[in-house]
Amino acid sequence: MAAVQDSAMAVGRGAQARPAAQGRFAALWTKHGAGYMFLLPWLVGFFGLTLGPAVASLYLSFTSFDLIRSPEWVGAANYVRIATADPKFAASLKVTFLYVVLSVPFKLAFALLVAILLNRGIKGLTVYRAIFYLPSLLGGSVAIAVLWRQLFAGDGLINSLLAQVGIEGPSWISHPDYSIWTLVVLSVWQFGSPMIIFLAGLRQIPTDMYEAASLDGASKFRQFYKITLPLLTPVIFFNAVVQTIEAFKAFTPAFIISGGTGGPINSTLFYTLYLYQEAFGNFRMGYASALAWILVLIIGLFTAFSFLTSRYWVHYDD
Amino acid sequence: MTMRMTRRNVLAGGAALLSYSVLASSALSQEARLRLLWWGSQARADRTNKVNQLFQSANTNVAINGEFLGWSDYWPRLATQVAGRNAPDIIQMDYRYIVEYARRGALAPLNDYLGSVLKVDDFDQVQIEGGSVDGKLYGVSLGANSATMLVNVAAFEEAGIELPTPSTTWDDMARIGAEITKAGKRKGFFGLADGSGVEPLLENWLRQRGKALFTADGKIAYDANDAAEWFAMWAAMREAKACVPPDIQALDQFNVETSPLSLGKSATSYAHSNQLVAYQGINKDKLALSNHPLIGKGAKGGHYRKPSMFFSVSAQTKDPELGAKYVNFFVTDPKAAEILGVERGVPESKAVREGLAPTLDELGRAALDYVSGLGPLAGALPPPPPSGAGEAELALRTVAEQVGFGQLDVKQGGETLVNEVTQILSRG
């Protein structure tokens, strides 16, 4: 009993010894505590599920790790192999670049077109907006990838339609010359999220500019070219960066449509799919980690390049 | 949209929480739990779950949690669970992977339980050896199967062509395939599936020539000329429209649902005998099993009986003896055998096989007769494939497509394949 009292007093004394420090902490806590509590779920997620694994994968990229035995340090061997002796790395990079270069411009152009059509003050805009946005919510899903396979297979809906006009189409999805295009079409079909952003951007453009331009006799096309496009460049820039990153990271459609093989003849072997094959198909987690870091680097370079060139074509109002 | 706390909401939520906790605690109060992971179709899952119930009713202190996936999703899942020290207690294992998993210390050796808990005395000795690595038993075979050519009986009858026999050669098949295509009884329908990228089919063909896919020490066991001849045989059949065109064949993801046979594109396909149950399940036309064609008159068959799959016990399990007990129940209990049939292959235990035979339906009977009737067509079990074999299989598929779509001629195809496989195997 006495011991308990003693220690309680000791705690009390300790507390008195550092009143200033505690006071400061308490003050900080009162000021920011609630904020941090609200941030907590995100902080836990960021450190535990994003930053932690990212750091771990950086370490693993310098090891040979088969998931079962402990990782074994191999220095830069993985990176050396990627750079010098991996034909599939080059093949998958080529497929991915092709996909980015094809899908991003088409998707942005289509999204802008739909946004302009929707911006003409039609009735029931919110309904249309929701309907057009729907594919973006569904498009990345497994179910849509399976559906796509059905549509573009040998006797799928697309070929049935083509047969009506006398064209006998190949099995688009499983032909090395066309399979990447079916994935590009799938990507363009998910134009919803850039469209919403374009729509918001279009609404920011002051209408008096168009009024002035019409009074001066500028055609609709000229108005689009001289007013809409320049004032929309910050939004175009934003969409281009986001969609490029998304395109580099695309995985599900290729995985489902090719059954995880990246076939036929590696024509749908996205970089992420090759990474997945190495990690979980061939149990080379170290090598796959190195591949992942190279992808981070590539995306980083692309984004940096976009920002550097942006000063020459992006116009900010202020 | 706002959510308001009402008395009713709170009560309903509370009731739900309560029932969850009751459910959870009832599961926790069991003395022992076994987690089980396997790959396969819904038909397999139904059978497995019934056997689990049977085992639990005989062992009321055990709770079994079963989970299943498709073949290609199964291996990533298993590898990550083993790496995360969260491996299932009972692991369905394949001949392709058992050496890697055993040597990496992921599986528990079962020799201590032989004769006591695990009674496999009347198993075919070769199949026991198939589940052994470095002299220790790591996997108990769940049944024997062999590679097979599936035949759509109705399509053959429509075209007025007799079914292949054990002495049918590849030359015969090329002719038969072209005739079925020419008969044109169905739209967009061809005689054969294009098997040029199907590894077990190539293996069978190589074995008939006295070669193999891999040597015992994990090297490639055929040369560029063999491969070129193989591709040439298929190129001729493609030319003659005996088999499906390459863009149709490329739809095949090497599973039951996407094979040209199941898609209604061809009258044959290549599979393993125990898969007849799953294939017939999704095909309306009657299917039959046939051995792979011969390379010439009087050639010896390239078949072999192999353990279709194993049950292994995880090295991480708390109670390996219970695991062994469950595996023993699965392969020796007569009631379990009746539920399982031959869906995982023909049972290895002689007693179980004899007890099972009269209870089988026509389909099960056909699979059993096929495996036991191979006779001289079947040879010795090859050594387990080396690590990298999975990658080599994908390489064969890719090169076969390159030849099929005309990117490589057959000679280049042969050289490319042998080069790639050699490189893959040397990397391990």
- Cβ separation A175–B247 shorter than 8 A: yes
Q: Is B290 exposed, middle or buried (0-12, 13-18, 19+ CB in 10 A)?
A: middle
Q: Which domain holds residue A136?
A: 86-313
Rounded Cα distance, A127 and A116, in Å: 16
Instruction: Give the per-residue pLDDT at B72.
Output: 76
Residue numbers of B between 86 and 145 with CB closer than 8 Å to A = 101, 104-106
Instruction: Give the per-residue pLDDT at A173.
Output: 86
Number of CB pairs < 8 Å for A and B?
Answer: 78
Q: Which of A280-284, B172-176, B307-311, B408-412 is predicted with the least confidence, judged by mean pLDDT?
A: A280-284
pLDDT band at B8 (very low <50, low <70, confident <90, very high): low
SS3 at position A159: helix
Is residue A287 in a domain?
Answer: yes
Nearest Cβ partner for A261 among B188, B248, B397: B397
CB B350 within 8 A of CB B390: no
Instruction: Give the per-residue pLDDT at B84.
Output: 84
Residue B382 clears pLDDT 80, i.e. is over it: yes
Task: ipTM value, please give it.
Answer: 0.80
| A279 interaction partners in chain B (CB closer than 8 Å) | 76
- CATH code of A284's domain: 1.10.3720.10
Is residue B23 in a domain?
Answer: no
Same domain membership, residue B164 and residue B273: yes
Tens of pLDDT, residues A179-216 = 999 999 988 988 888 999 999 999 888 888 888 888 88
Which residues partner with B38 through β-bridges?
A: B68
Q: How many domains does chain B have?
A: 2
- Cβ separation B82–A68 shorter than 8 A: yes
Q: How many domains does chain A have?
A: 1
Mind telling me how many Å the CA of B423 is from chain A's nearest CA? Answer: 11
| A266 interaction partners in chain B (CB closer than 8 Å) | 398
Instruction: Give the per-residue pLDDT at A27.
Output: 86
Mind telling me how many Å the CA of B80 is from chain A's nearest CA? Answer: 7
- Cβ separation B401–A265 shorter than 8 A: yes
Residue B103 clears pLDDT 90, i.e. is over it: no
B69 part of contact set with chain A, CB < 8 Å: no
Same domain membership, residue B176 and residue B265: yes
| B400 interaction partners in chain A (CB closer than 8 Å) | none
Provide the mean pLDDT of chain B: 88
- Cβ separation B106–A68 shorter than 8 A: yes
pLDDT band at B204 (very low <50, low <70, confident <90, very high): very high
SS3 at position B287: strand
Instruction: Give the per-residue pLDDT at A118.
Output: 87
In degrees, rounded to 5, the angle at the alpha carbon of residue A251 between the alpha carbons of residues A250 and A253 is: 100
Instruction: Give the per-residue pLDDT at B428.
Output: 63
Comparing alpha-carbon positions, the chain B residue that sits nearest to A175 is B247
- CATH code of B194's domain: 3.40.190.10
Same domain membership, residue B266 and residue B333: no
Nearest Cβ partner for B250 among A67, A174, A260: A174
Q: Which of A156-160, B270-274, B284-288 is predicted with the least confidence, judged by mean pLDDT?
A: A156-160
Interhelix angle B199-208/B389-404, nearest 10 degrees: 90
- Cβ separation A154–B251 shorter than 8 A: yes
Mind telling me how many Å the CA of B401 is from chain A's nearest CA? Answer: 6
Tokens 């390049």 belong to: A305
Tens of pLDDT, residues B396-424 = 999 999 999 999 999 999 999 999 999 99
Same domain membership, residue B132 and residue B168: no
Nearest by Cα to A272 from A286, A257, A259, A260: A260
Is residue A57 in a domain?
Answer: no
Q: Which residues, 6+ apart, have CB-to-CB distance to B306 below 8 Å? A: B95, B130, B144, B145, B146, B381
Residue B49 clears pLDDT 90, i.e. is over it: yes
Q: Which domain holds residue B177?
A: 147-304+387-427
Q: When comparing pLDDT for A84 and B28, which is higher?
A: A84
Comparing alpha-carbon positions, the chain A residue that sits nearest to B258 is A259
Same domain membership, residue B110 and residue B44: yes
Rounded Cα distance, B27 and B33, in Å: 9
Is residue B12 in a domain?
Answer: no
Is residue A221 in a domain?
Answer: yes
- Cβ separation A283–B101 shorter than 8 A: no
Domain boundary among the residues B319, B335, B368 is at: B368
Q: Residues of chain A whose pLDDT is less than 50?
A: 1-15
Same domain membership, residue B258 and residue B157: yes
